Chains A and B, each alone.
Chain A
Amino acid sequence: MSMVGFVQNAIIGLVVLMSALYVLRQLMPKWVRGRQLALAIMLNQPSHSLLARKLGSFMTPDDSSGGGCGSGCSSCSSCGSHPEIASEFKLRDQSEKKRDAKVETKPLEFQRHI
């Protein structure tokens, strides 16, 4: 394979990989967060090299990830939901356990100096 061909393939591979990761993060944020966290913990072991541990720290997902609508919609600016809303809405098949398992997402924050 020529050098040009190799560079082209490398660029395409990177673009496809990044696209796949983006789509997964959008459509399955919790699953991706779980895998990312597991990988970060695995890399962050004291027995591993400094580079691996740094990579592990870098990969550790922040607290606010893994929630949201996962749509890229952004039209409502309301991705952070209030936990009380869902629990107030009682349906026959929902269990208490499921309600308690809900995780509160961070409210939106805005700042201005007057």
Chain B
Amino acid sequence: MAISGISRIALVGNPNCGKTALFNQLTGSRQKVANYAGVTVERKEGRFTAPSGRVFKLLDLPGAYSLEATSPDEVVTRDICLGRIPGEELPDLIVCVADATNLRLHLRFVLEVKRLGRPMVLALNMMDAARKRGITINREELQRQLGMDVIETVAIKHDGAKNLVAHIDRMEVPEVHAVTDQSDADLHTQVLAILASAVTMPRTTAAVDDAIDRWALHSVFGLMILAAVMFFIFQAVFSWAEPLMDGISTGVTVTGQWFASALPDGLLRSLIVDGLFAGLGAVLVFLPQILILFLFILVLEESGYLPRAAFLLDRMMFKAGLTGRSFIPLLSSFACAIPGIMATRSIQDPRDRLTTILVAPLMTCSARLPVYTLLIAAFIPNTTVWNFFNLQGIVLFVLYVAGVASALAVAWFIKRMRQDKSEHALLMELPSYRLPSPLNIAIGLWERAYIFMRRVTTIILSLTVLLWFLSTFPAPPEGATLPAIEYSLAGMVGRFMEPIFAPIGFNWQICIALIPGLAAREVAVAALGTVYAMAGSEDAVAAQLGPVIAAQWSLATALALLAWYVFAPQCLSTLAVIRRETNSWRVVAISTSYLFGLAYLAAFLTYHIAKAIS
């Protein structure tokens, strides 16, 4: 079979061997990479042009431990390698990527793929890490033993895949291997024989990993370290972001005031000042906090600590009806529930997967952060507790813990409901610790900032404009004494909803904000900014929404709204992804009703308890 024109190359291999890093290196894409298994859960397609001018089509497939797929993401890899997907051609060449520091595990999959008899090349990745650990690999011997070309790569380094590209570029007629039928035991024996003849390893694990893990995986100290790390993150989110937030707030205020004075009085001025500046400005100030949170998440992802956290929490998660495998999807949900729900594809048991999907929206996604911090900054004093901890940071930490605790409680309830007594042992690879690359972190933060700004300038902007329109029309009647918004469509809707939400302390302005907030949670902040600006609160125009709501709401109302946002599925996209991933409207209905039910109950209890105490 000659490779000519565009030929299809598939990247396969065990999870966390660097396939996506190699894919990014070759295609120039920026797909998410992290130092743990299960980041890629579906195929990605790209192209690259080799120095000769030949164009190759590259497929990045989810990691798999075996072609006998046990989870939905492994199914994708298996079916593409076997040509089982209608309309999807068999790859012309399989590039099997293996971690050079962990050949004992990875070679087994290499041999399994070789059994398919497809043209194949082995990319021996992470060769720099292998050399650092004193691992020597006799490449010629490995090639001879495996019966295929072996190319060394370092996917995370610039030009780290140069040799692989040159090799593929030179290939004309890839060698087709004979289809063999070996048992798993045969494969294992063969791996041991290859390792004995071609690889010298001073130790099976890195000494530094063992030293760190002695503490990080300790049943007591490990949990204490994890709690301290999480606590520190939320303290930093509040303490470090303040100067930057003040800077943005001042910038928005000054620009808003300039527009207010420069434009003639009229509808356009109202749209720009009351709609855009009051609405978007209120959301924009939270960018520093979101970036600080993601700085920590990215560092933890790159370091290899996260799978350790999954290991530490496995016992607790199992008691609650989840498995350690749910940890990574739930952790991804802290950024956004959508990738979190998609990451559940790495969970083998469908019931465990469904439970994880149902509780993933309870994890505190970054879209909640503007709502939380707006209310915390407005109602919780910025004082120091025990001479060290920031009280606002503690409240934020408690809200995150409340999300996790409620997810565990719901999972436990589901386990009880289905009377599941089965045990699912956690088998998880703990990757080597790695120093996070400042460049990767910077790129990751840039992407987060871009995503946030894109949301602000697209969906949040559009909804703010619509809300302004609904808050402006119809115009108040002649001789009206109340603010114009009271006579508008939005005002009427808010008043209509008020009796339903009055028992949980919400006023009609909050009721209005809840509607556009269904599209994305942070829109609620923009909506409150617009609603109060339209209601005549000039401070809100100047992106100072906090003092306005602090003056108009009671503490009980603010706490009830916080409790509401811990549970409420105020994100239609999440519900759409649940529908897509489960192919069931029933699951969407269950998810929506239980989350809204919990939100109402929590807000009701919080409001009345807070009111009774105060």
Give the CA-CA distance A27 to B462 in the complex, in Å: 12
| Interchain CB contact under 8 A, B49 and A112 | yes
Nearest-CB distance from B64 to chain A (Å)?
A: 14
| Interchain CB contact under 8 A, B268 and A23 | no
| Interchain CB contact under 8 A, B573 and A93 | no
Q: Mark B7-37, 1 if CB is under 8 A from A, else 0.
A: 0000000000000000000111111100000
Residues of B within 8 A of A82 (CB): 42-43, 76
Q: Mark B422-439, 1 if CB is under 8 A from A, else 0.
A: 000000000000000000
| Interchain CB contact under 8 A, B520 and A22 | no
Give the CA-CA distance A85 to B267 in the complex, in Å: 50
| Interchain CB contact under 8 A, B576 and A69 | yes
| Interchain CB contact under 8 A, A75 and B51 | no
| Interchain CB contact under 8 A, B345 and A23 | no
Whether, in the assembled complex, B45 has its beta carbon less than 8 Å from a beta carbon of chain A, the answer is: yes
Contact of B519 among A27, A69, A80 (CB under 8 A): A27
| Interchain CB contact under 8 A, A86 and B582 | yes
Whether, in the assembled complex, B415 has its beta carbon less than 8 Å from a beta carbon of chain A, the answer is: no
Whether, in the assembled complex, B85 has its beta carbon less than 8 Å from a beta carbon of chain A, the answer is: yes
Nearest-CB distance from B36 to chain A (Å)?
A: 16
Whether, in the assembled complex, A57 has its beta carbon less than 8 Å from a beta carbon of chain B, the answer is: no
Whether, in the assembled complex, B292 has its beta carbon less than 8 Å from a beta carbon of chain A, the answer is: no
Nearest-CB distance from B572 to chain A (Å)?
A: 6
Contact of A109 among B46, B87, B577 (CB under 8 A): B46
| Interchain CB contact under 8 A, A23 and B462 | yes
- A72-B572 contact in complex given A8-B267, A86-B580, C-beta closer than 8 Å: no
How many chain-B residues does the 8 Å CB contact rule pick out?
Answer: 66
Residues of A within 8 A of B520 (CB): 71-72
| Interchain CB contact under 8 A, A112 and B48 | yes
Residues of B within 8 A of A9 (CB): 267
| Interchain CB contact under 8 A, B339 and A23 | no
Q: Among A13-21, A31-39, A48-56, which stretch is in contact with chain B?
A: A13-21
Q: Among B100-108, B391-399, B452-460, which stretch is in contact with chain A?
A: B452-460
Whether, in the assembled complex, B202 has its beta carbon less than 8 Å from a beta carbon of chain A, the answer is: no
- A16-B26 contact in complex given A75-B339, A88-B72, A114-B48, C-beta closer than 8 Å: no
Whether, in the assembled complex, A41 has its beta carbon less than 8 Å from a beta carbon of chain B, the answer is: no
| Interchain CB contact under 8 A, B72 and A76 | no
Contact of B85 among A15, A84, A109 (CB under 8 A): A84
Closest A residue by C-beta to B586: A93
Contact of A85 among B28, B45, B72, B463 (CB under 8 A): B72
Give the CA-CA distance A108 to B60 in the complex, in Å: 11
* Of listed A16, A23, A102, A114, residue having the most chain B CB within 10 A: A114
| Interchain CB contact under 8 A, B26 and A114 | yes
Nearest-CB distance from B463 to chain A (Å)?
A: 6
Whether, in the assembled complex, B271 has its beta carbon less than 8 Å from a beta carbon of chain A, the answer is: yes
Nearest-CB distance from A99 to chain B (Å)?
A: 6
Residues of B within 8 A of A99 (CB): 583
| Interchain CB contact under 8 A, B338 and A81 | no
Contact of A108 among B45, B75, B519 (CB under 8 A): B45
CB<8 Å pairs between A and B, sample of 18: A19-B461, A19-B466, A22-B458, A26-B458, A26-B459, A69-B338, A71-B573, A71-B576, A72-B520, A72-B573, A73-B455, A85-B73, A85-B75, A86-B582, A107-B45, A112-B28, A112-B47, A113-B49
Interface residues of B (CB under 8 A from A): 26-32, 41-51, 72-73, 75-76, 79, 85, 87, 165, 264, 266-268, 271, 335-336, 338-339, 342, 345, 350, 353-354, 448, 451, 454-455, 458-459, 461-463, 465-466, 469, 519-520, 571-573, 576-577, 580-584, 586-587
